[in-house]
Amino acid sequence: MALREIRIDDDPILRKKSRVVSEINDRILTLLEDMEETMIHANGIGLAAPQVGVLRRVVTIDVGEGIMKIINPEILEVRGEVIEIEGCLSLPGISGTVERPEWVKLKYLNENGEEVIIEGTDLLARAICHEVDHLDGILYTDKVIEYCTDEDENEEEII
Ligand code: CO
């Protein structure tokens, strides 16, 4: 495994759309391992491949329930609305409130190429939506309701 450089701020790759993975080969498996290591090292709970410069629909998430390696995610259904503070590994030093679904149903391929359907609530739902947005070149700042002041800074989840 190896750490990869996290693209930040105005890096144009963060605004590009990622392509579907058609074959889960060694490059994709290595990418997933490196993303896991990079995400943990940066104290994030989610990371999307474009954040490490790879325009593929690949995501890692760990909200404290173990690592999830997600390929070709598709949000099937959403319910509810929650407004919480969120930050992003690609936008260091800022955070803000964003409205996200309270519940999502997600379909994806795991690293063995098996189709998985999960339901996630609260922080997991938020992380899923934040990362899928990254795959479409969308950043949370596009949806922010209000930026936080310094006093709130430690409360955000860095996705
Ligand atoms: Co992010």
In sequence order, what DSSP letters do the residues of 37-63 get, joined into one string? HHHHHTT-SEEEGGGGT--BSEEEE-S
Q: Which residues contact 84 (CB under 8 A, 6 or more apart)?
A: 97, 98, 100, 126, 157
Over pLDDT 70: what percentage of the chain? 97
pTM for this entry: 0.95
Q: What is the pLDDT of residues 66-75, one digit of tens each?
A: 999 999 999 9
**Distance between CA 13 and CA 79 in Å, rounded?**
30
The span from the first CA to the last CA of the chain, in angstroms, equals 21
* Mean pLDDT rounded to a whole number for the chain: 95
Structure tokens given for 14: 């963060």
Helix, strand and coil percent figures for the chain, each rounded to 5? 30, 30, 40
The confidence score (pLDDT) of residue 35 equals 98
**Distance between CA 127 and CA 158 in Å, rounded?**
9
Tell me the helices (H) and strands (E) count for the chain, helix number first: 2, 9
Report whether pLDDT(145) > 80.
yes
Taking the centre of ligand 1 as the mean of its atom positions, its distance from the CA of residue 27, in whole angstroms, is 22
Q: Phi first, then psi: what are they for 150, rounded to 5°?
A: -55, -35
Going by pLDDT thresholds of 50, 70 and 90, the confidence category of residue 153 is low
Going by pLDDT thresholds of 50, 70 and 90, the confidence category of residue 157 is confident
The confidence score (pLDDT) of residue 107 equals 98
Report whether pLDDT(156) > 80.
no
Which of 84, 99, 114, 131 is an active site residue? 131
Taking the centre of ligand 1 as the mean of its atom positions, its distance from the CA of residue 112, in whole angstroms, is 25
**Distance between CA 8 and CA 133 in Å, rounded?**
16
Taking the centre of ligand 1 as the mean of its atom positions, its distance from the CA of residue 89, in whole angstroms, is 5
On whether the CB atoms of residues 61 and 124 are closer than 8 A, the answer is yes
Q: What is the pLDDT of residues 48-102, one digit of tens each?
A: 999 999 999 999 999 999 999 999 999 999 999 999 999 999 999 999 999 999 9
Report whether pLDDT(132) > 80.
yes
Taking the centre of ligand 1 as the mean of its atom positions, its distance from the CA of residue 46, in whole angstroms, is 7
102 is catalytic: no
Angle, alpha carbons 64-58-138 (nearest 5°): 90
